[in-house]
Structure 1
Amino acid sequence: MYDLIIIGGGPSGINAAISAKRAGLRYLILEKGVIANSLFNFPVNMTFFSTSLKLEIQDTPFISHMDKPTRTEALEYYRRLIQHFDLDIKLYEGVERMRAIEGGYAVETRKATYPSRNVVVATGFYDTPRKLNIPGEDLPKVRHYYNDPHAYIGQDVLVIGAANSACDAALECWRKGAQVTMAVRGGEISDRVKYWIKPDIENRIKEGSITAYFNTTTDEIQTDTVVLGTPDGQVRLPNDFVLAMTGYQPNFALFERLGLPVEDADVCKPIFNPDTLETLLPGVYMAGVACGGKQTSKLFIENTRDHGDIIVEAIQGQSVLS
């Protein structure tokens, strides 16, 4: 019987594991992919908006070459945390379901079942893209993740969206020789775009290097074309690839399998005590950005760094009371 099973091996899961180890709890991280799987799926050349100082966890220095770290530096940091603290983690072992047992829960993966008195759900949101739900979205040329511009050299690329991921992808692909068009649902580039990216993308659009359709929807994706719904009617464009940078959300299907109650359908925020992070399931806690449900712009690594300590303190408090 473990004291704590942690679902998710990203920054929040690692944070909770370090807190648990320091407290002398018997814990285990279960991760469905690689260490920091969400960050691994970030664009190869991505630079964080936050400084390395704000991304540090458990008072462990995060050293980067510049003020704002890169994806590569972040992955190295989280690898080193696992190694330095000798954390107990099982990779490529996604959780499928959870059931109540005497004294806690049985957490089931396809490989094994792990009994634990407490469970932390620290699954983030970047692993589950928001789908367009339009015809042709399942075509092989449609990508919900962007990693490197090399594949798109000389290609007609449609980038859907106007936030950080979309603007980064559009600029990198254009600079490497792609013909880039953007389909933007709103009337302008998002105000949340990194301050050093926003003027760059706006100037490329203004000069005509990148074509942008604002107040526009993507209505259909076909083998060689895309159909856009613009204020002036439908437009059909030649197309080789679609980068659907439409955002991401927590894995609500997993929440349902775990039996986690959530708020109304518009927010889908797990219901938990803000002081202890404990959900309506006794001994089951939320950690990290997954706490925000669909409100993915509210929580980040830097403002959830205390979640591990909060949860472990709550668990220890319950142990004393019992």
Structure 2
Amino acid sequence: MGDGAYVEVVLPGKVEPEGLELRSGPVPAPGAGQVLVRMEATGVSFAEQQMRRGRYYDQPAFPFVPGYDLVGTVLGSGTGAGAGLIGKRVAALTKTGGWASHVVLDAADVVEVPDGVGAAEAETAVVNGLTAWQMLHRKARVRSGATVLVHGANGGVGSVLVQLATAAGATVVGTASARHHEGLRALGVIPVDYRNDDVPARVRELAPGGVDAVFDHVGGRSVVDSWSLLARGGTLVSYGSAATRDDEGSGALPVVKLLGRVWLWNWLPNGRSAYFFNVWAGRAYAKNRFRARVRADLTQVFGALRRGDLTARIAAEIPLARAAEAMRLAESGTVAGKVLLVP
């Protein structure tokens, strides 16, 4: 049932990227209700950067195989999974386990990738596209004519967010370092230099009445400024704490602080709302509903790719065996789009 040798990348503990370990073994076999997927592309996300520091708030105990999502071809299926998926290209959210040549998944957790969308192209839009789509349409409910602020507009999630927001008819202001501004302007984004500009002051110049939505992955002081920039009726969606990536201590504490702020802000009688977004919300107690939502929303994102509303932004495609190099590149802050690992 296997196709080639099995290889996985293991995160053994709190290590530098060069401490990642490459292991090989037999290709795993799918059990009941499962499928075996040959990985064609997986990504390096901010989650893995936090995990190698032991700072992702619900990561498993070391050692484990990282890899938040993947795209690949179904090679085989276990009993009860049905044979209809064999040979199909599929995508899946995994949280961990994606950095491997072959991955066993529950058949109910894979989403078919439509014809005409390549593996690398699709991979840029799995966790990043799903996160962006759900924040934009399920949380902020952005409509045509709105003005939104996207922090990290050149990053993995940010670059998808700005394109989906533009396609929805919104005016988009995006923060990024100056070297990314030309590319953002080409996407119709109004860029703001977060390194050299006074971001709140510049955004107030652009939107004197406030913005309708802010998408903030930075946390810390940034999320406080983001809340202050909202217009009445506006929505803040916080989805990370990048500012604390290199801090010592508990990885959960920044998230707890963000949750506390969100709770407090939502009690204030000012017509604004705040969310802390977690793409896994609801899976623990409503798995079937969660799966249906993932399937519906990823299908929308893949549709945007096919229509050209969303262009895959691939920073690099690096072989799985060179995962350390890929991690270094993703952490450098010098690239736009997503760093991919490929077989």
Q: TM-score, normalised by structure 2?
A: 0.29
Q: TM-score, normalised by structure 1?
A: 0.31
Q: Report the structure number with the largest CA radius of gyration.
A: 1
